[in-house]
Amino acid sequence: MGRLKDKIAVITGSGKGLGEAMALLFSREGAKIVVFDIDEPAGRETAEQIQEQGGEAIFVHGDVSNPDDAARLIDAAVDAYGRVDVLVNNAGVHVDRTVANTTEEEWDRILGVNLKGVFLCSKAAIPQMRRQGGGNIICISSISGLIGQLNQAAYNASKHGIIGLVKCMAYDHALENIRANAICPGVMNTPLVASVPEEHIAPYRKTSLLERFAEPSEVANAALFLASDESSYVTGSAMVVDGGYTTK
C-alpha cells in the first residue's frame, strides 16, 4: 500500500475494464484519481466506487479525440488537485476489418480515439508536467501494436502508432523529468470479451502459453509499476503482458 501516495493520476477510459481496474488499484495505493470516460454512467460509477472505498476521485465526461475535451480534462485535474503526476492513456475502440472493407469513417474513429486521443491528452498534460517539474505518461497499446493480425487493419495501425509515439515522447522529454512508456496486453477478461459466445472465444484461450486470458487486475499491476517511483529508470519501453503469446 502507498506506492502512489499523494500522486494525482488521470486515467482515460476508466469507466470499465482495464481502465476501471487501474483506477481502483491506483486509489488503493494512495493516488487521487481523475476518472475520464465518454460513458458517463460507467465513469461516475468508477469514481463512486473509489469514494466508497475511502479514496479521492472526480469524474470528467468527454471524448479523448476531441481537443477541447482533452484540454478540459487536464484543467479539471489541476483545478481539483493542483497537478498531474500520472496520465494513463487507456481509452480505446475496436473494429474487425481488413483495409479493403474498413470504411473511412471507421478508420477515422479508430485512429481518432486510439492514437489521436493519446496525442491530444499527452499534448495537454505535458506543459503542466513541465511546469511542475516532471510527470509520467503511460499508454495502453496491445500485442496488436507488435504483430500483424487478421482483420485488424485500423486497430493494429493505431496500436503500432502508440508505441512509436511513446518512444518519441520519451526521447523528447527525458531531460524534463517526464517519462513515457507503453503497455502491450494480450486478451483480457473484459465485458467486451465476456459478450462473445464461449464457443467462439474458447480457441483463443490457448493462444497464450498460460492457456488463459489475463484478468484486468494483472495488467493493472504492470501499470502500477510504471506509475510508481520503482520504475524511475524506465522510459521509452513497451512492456508486454500477454501470457507469452508473442513468444510463439
Residues involved in catalysis: 155
Amino acid identity for residue 86 in this structure: V
CB 28 within 8 A of CB 2: no
Burial of residue 68 (number of CB atoms within 10 Å: 0-12, 13-18, 19+): exposed
**Is the C-alpha dihedral spanning 82, 172, 160, 185 positive or negative?**
negative
Whose CA is closest to 14, among 32, 123, 38? 38
Strand order in the sheet with 57-61: 57-61, 32-37, 8-12, 86-89, 135-140, 178-185, 238-241
Q: Within 10 Å of residue 99's Cβ, how many Cβ atoms?
A: 9
Q: Within 10 Å of residue 173's Cβ, how many Cβ atoms?
A: 20
